[in-house]
A and B are shown apart, each in its own frame.
Chain A
Amino acid sequence: MASRAGQEKALRLLRHLPRVALNNIDHPNPKPASRRKRGAHGGDTHGAGDKGSKARQHFARAGFEGGQTPFYIRIPREDPYKGHHLRREYPPVSLHQLQLMVDTDRVDAGRQIDLTQICNSGLFRLEPLRRQFGFQLTDEGMDEFVTPVNLEVQWASERVIAAVERAGGTITTAFYDMASLQAMVDPERFFKRGVPIPRRALPPQDAVGYYTDPSTRGYLADPEQVARHRLTLAQKYGYELPKVKEGPLTERKDPRQIFFGLEPGWLVNLTDKQVWRVKDPVMSEYFRS
C-alpha cells in the first residue's frame, strides 16, 4: 500500500506518459507460457522423466510409500462413534425458553414442571426410542430467570441450579427408564394401551453417582444434604436464598412413581373414566417396593 505522497507522484507521472491503453500494459510478473509436450523440445520422454512406474503408466496403488508402512496404516484408528448407539442423550431446554413458556402460559408454574409438562406444552418433543432420556436445562437466559418454579429435569449444571434457586424455586434431577419415558412423553397414548403404570427403574450404574449426589439435586439424595447444598450454593454465587414454603414448590415424586397421584401398578381406564388399583398382595408388594 503506497503512501499518499507516492500515489500522488505516480499519478503526476502519468500525465506525461502515453495514454494507458490495451496495447501498452504489461504484467510485471507474467505467468510462463505453457510448453507443449510435442515437437523438438517437448519430445523424447514427453514430460515423464526416465523409466520408472510413472513413465510406464503402471502406478503403484494410492497410499503406497515404496514399502515404508504407509501413513494410513501407521496411525492408529480412533472410532469417534463407538458405542454412540448406547449413549444417553438429553435434548436441551434453556432457562430463557422456560421463562418464556411460563410467561406465555404454555406451562403451569403452579405445579411441578417435569418432563410431561414440557412435552405437553407442544414446544418440545422427546423421542425415547432415539435414546433421548429426558431434558437438560441449559444456562442461556439464566440472568433473566425470575419465576419461582418447581422443576424436575434429567440434567442440570451448577449454574442453572443456582439460577433456579435464586429465583425462589426448587430443582430436582430425576432418572426415568425407557418404559417410564414412553409413558411420560405421551400419557394419553400410554393409558389407551390399557397397561398398568410401570414401576420406575433405578438409574444405571454410571448414572447412580449423579442422581444420589445432593450437589446436583439428585432425586435419590438425602433431602437434608440437599438443603445444606442449597445454602452452600447461595453463598458461592452470592445471592440471598429465598425461603421456600411447603406447597407446590416442594412436592416431589416417589423414586418409583411416574405420575403424580398415580402409583405404579394402577390401571387407568380412560373410556370408563376409572382408575383400578392392585388387589393381589404379591403384586401390590412388588409395585410398592
Chain B
Amino acid sequence: MTTKLHLLLRSASFVQQNLCQPASRKCLHRATQMVRLCSTQAGKVHDTAPAVPVAAAESYAPALLRPLTETVAPSAAAVRQVWVENMDSADERKLGLLELHPEVFAAFPKLHLIHDNVRWQRMYRQVDYAATKTRAEVRGGGRKPHPQKGGGRARAGSIRSPLWKGGGVSHGPRGPKTHFYMLSHSARVGGLCATLSVKLAQNDLHVVRDLELPSADPGRLQELVERRYWGPSVLFVDDTDEMPENLVRAADQVPHYSLLPVYGLNVFTMLKHDTLVLTVAAVERVQERLLRALSIHNSMAVKHTDASLLR
C-alpha cells in the first residue's frame, strides 16, 4: 500500500515537472479533444517525431461516443481523463489527453459482478470426470455369497454391496458432469465495466497511441515497462488481432506480457495481469460496444434495431 501511495506521489510529481502550464482543456461538454502539450514544454520532452499540427492530432481523437439511446450526456465531474502515452521510447511522453465515458470507466466497482464473471469463466468450461460404479456396475456380485443363516457371519446378498470391500459406491459421483452455465448479459457487461473502472481507479490502466515499438528486443520492452512502473504482468490490448511485428516478437519472449484484441477482452484476463495497456482505437471500440450493450435492453429508447450493429 505504501508502495502504491509512493508510486502515486512519484507519478504526480513527474507530471508536475513536465508541465509548464496546465493543459488547456476545452469545454468538457463537447466531444473529447486531444491537446498537444509539446508546445507548452520547456525542453524536458524530446520530441523526435516532427511536430504534428493540432488538426491532425484531433483527427484521431475519438468522440465521446453516445450509446444507442438518446441519453443525457455525462456530467462534467464524472467524465474521466487519461493521458495518451507513447510506446516508441522507454522515456514516457504524454501525447495528449483522452476523455472516457464514466458509465464504462467510472462505474461502481461491483466486486460481486467481478467475482461472478471470474467464477463463470472458470466454471463454464469445467468438466468433472469423476465417476464411480454402483453395486450393479461392479463386476460380479450376482450370487448370494453364503446362506442366510448358520454361518455366524453377517447376512449378505452380494459381494459387491457398498458395505463390502471392493463393492460399489452408493452415492458417489456419477459420470462426467459439466458445470456449463451462461451468466446473464447484464452481469457480463456489468463485470467488464466494473473491472475497467477498478483498473482505472487503481492506476493500472494506461492508454497509448499505438503499439509500434522501435525494435523487437524484449529487453527494451521490459525496460519501458519497468521505467513506467507498470506491473510485472502487462496486458496489451489493440482493436485488431494483427499486432505490430516488433511487439509480437518482443512479447513472445516474455511470458508475463500478453497481447489481446479487443474482442477477447474479459474480466479474468484483466485481473490476471497487473497492468492494462490499451490503444486509443481499442478504447474507442470498447467504449462503443459497452455503451451499446448497456442500453440494448432499454426498449423504451431503442426505436429501430439495426441488425448489423448487433454483431
Question: Which residues of A come within 8 Å of B, CB atoms?
Answer: 2, 4, 6-8, 10-12, 14-22, 25-29, 36-38, 42, 46
Total number of residue pairs linking A and B with CB closer than 8 Å = 74
Question: Do the beta carbons of B201 and A22 come within 8 Å of each other?
Answer: no
Residues of A within 8 A of B106 (CB): 7-8, 11
Number of interface residues of B (CB under 8 A): 33
Given contacts A11-B201, A14-B198, A14-B201, contact A25 B107 (CB under 8 A): no
Give A208 Cβ to nearest chain B Cβ, in Å.
49
A-B contacts, 14 of them at CB < 8 A, read: A7-B106, A7-B108, A11-B109, A14-B198, A19-B202, A19-B231, A20-B109, A21-B272, A22-B268, A25-B115, A25-B118, A26-B111, A29-B112, A38-B171
Of chain B, the residue at the smallest CB distance from A19 is: B202
Residues of A within 8 A of B75 (CB): 4
Given contacts A15-B201, A21-B271, contact A10 B109 (CB under 8 A): yes
Question: Do the beta carbons of A22 and B109 come within 8 Å of each other?
Answer: no
Given contacts A19-B274, A38-B171, contact A27 B108 (CB under 8 A): no
Question: Do the beta carbons of A4 and B78 come within 8 Å of each other?
Answer: yes
Give A50 Cβ to nearest chain B Cβ, in Å.
17
Of chain A, the residue at the smallest CB distance from B271 is: A22
Q: Which of A14, A25, A46 contacts B170 (CB 8 A)?
A: A46
Of chain A, the residue at the smallest CB distance from B172 is: A38
Alpha-carbon separation in the docked complex, A14 to B196 (Å)? 13
Residues of A within 8 A of B77 (CB): 4
Residues of A within 8 A of B114 (CB): 20, 25
Question: Do the beta carbons of A27 and B112 come within 8 Å of each other?
Answer: yes
B71-110: which residues lie under 8 A (CB-CB) from chain A?
75, 77-78, 106-109
Of chain B, the residue at the smallest CB distance from A5 is: B77
Alpha-carbon separation in the docked complex, A26 to B202 (Å)? 18
Residues of A within 8 A of B203 (CB): 15
Residues of A within 8 A of B198 (CB): 14, 20
Question: Do the beta carbons of B202 and A28 come within 8 Å of each other?
Answer: no
Residues of B within 8 A of A20 (CB): 109, 111, 114, 198, 202, 271
Question: Do the beta carbons of B4 and A16 come within 8 Å of each other?
Answer: yes
Q: Which of B4, B5, B171 contacts A46 (CB 8 A)?
A: B171
Give A72 Cβ to nearest chain B Cβ, in Å.
33
Alpha-carbon separation in the docked complex, A26 to B116 (Å)? 10
